[in-house]
Chains A and B, each alone.
Chain A
């Protein structure tokens, strides 16, 4: 389980859009998996993705995370960062967080599982409990939305 945590954290980050929420989400997922366990014949990492995503949806329902994120000053423009290397990495991370925030939660989940975590369509369909066709259409829309943000940002 520990081996999967870094990737779980990355998945949580792309869903939640910031480091603090991602760590809370990762911690909650780890606790849940520790207490409830992993079904037999299920890959631990895939199961953690699934639990993480369900917890995130619960959170979304409980409080309006999107509105809360919009009110966070550090997600807005005008970051003050020290150290050029840090600034460049940090800024592109924030930028991508912002682009991702424009996507629906479903699109974020699917594009992260496939483009970042390298799951196949079939694996992603299992994690998200949807047919493969749904994966394909959501993924194309997510890529298209990100492509249009990137063009605007770069150019």
Chain B
């Protein structure tokens, strides 16, 4: 990557920032600042996805053009040697850079974001009483290292509740696993949404040895609608906002119901 190679640049708008993020051309400081914003601004995260998809689609559609055989006239122009080379030619190189770059970015900024108070945010949302320090005392939900272990209220939900089903927690909070997927390293991750009478949140947790490590969390205010949990999540709210994180982690498609049951039965190993 060529970080730091770029001269200073005054960004005119967020599209320019997001575009440079997609191409891995932000400086570490710029990437960190934008990463923090992405966690808390669903609209910005949606925009990132839209811009990234535009480039991905172009690459996907134009990509195969480079694999088509060259026209005879051109081969003739270059001579007989060319014909032999053409037969030996390697397929055009694939390019998967954007996802990898976003994954790298995720590693660089998420731990900071979590340490900077998302644990506090979820504690507040769920009405968990905070200690005098006001920071990491949301123990019933999140341990200090931002992972969800056996002592945390959400552990049982992530361990045993199939995607699409909801569980009622203390304080009028409802928790619903949304999907389950695997990372390139084979770890299981789950996206979970949480709702109460006036807040929503969504998180992505990945299972390590004994706990669900929090990869991302986003939350905001919202009032309950008449139609149940989904009704008061913003139309393309937290789940969409977490898309870039899920995209970065997920190498295949989400697990189906049966695969999810099997993984659960095997203790997520």
Contact = CB atoms under 8 A, between A and B. Distances in A.
Specify whether A and B are partners: yes
Given A2-B86, A9-B70, A120-B2, A143 B55 contact: yes
Contacts, number: 137
A143 B65 contact: no
B78 interface: yes
B53 A150 contact: yes
Among B9, B15, B65, B74, which residue has the most Cβ atoms of chain A within 10 A?
B65
A146 B77 contact: no
B165 to A, nearest CB: 30
Contacts of A120: 2, 5, 23, 25
Q: Is the interface of B mostly helix, strand, loop or mixed?
A: helix
A132 B225 CA distance: 49
A74 interface: no
Given A9-B65, A96-B57, A151-B50, A27 B92 contact: no
A6 B66 contact: yes
Nearest to A23: B71
Contacts of B5: 120, 122
Of the four ranges (under 10, 10 to 19, 20 to 34, 35 or more), the interface on chain A belongs to 35 or more
Interface string A2-44: 1101110110011000000011001100110010000000000
Interface in A126-140: 132-133, 136-137, 139-140
B217 to A, nearest CB: 27
Interface of A: 1-3, 5-7, 9-10, 13-14, 22-23, 26-27, 30-31, 34, 89, 92-93, 95-96, 100, 111-112, 114-118, 120-122, 132-133, 136-137, 139-141, 143-144, 146-147, 150-151
9 contacts: A3-B85, A10-B63, A13-B65, A27-B71, A27-B77, A31-B77, A121-B20, A140-B51, A146-B54
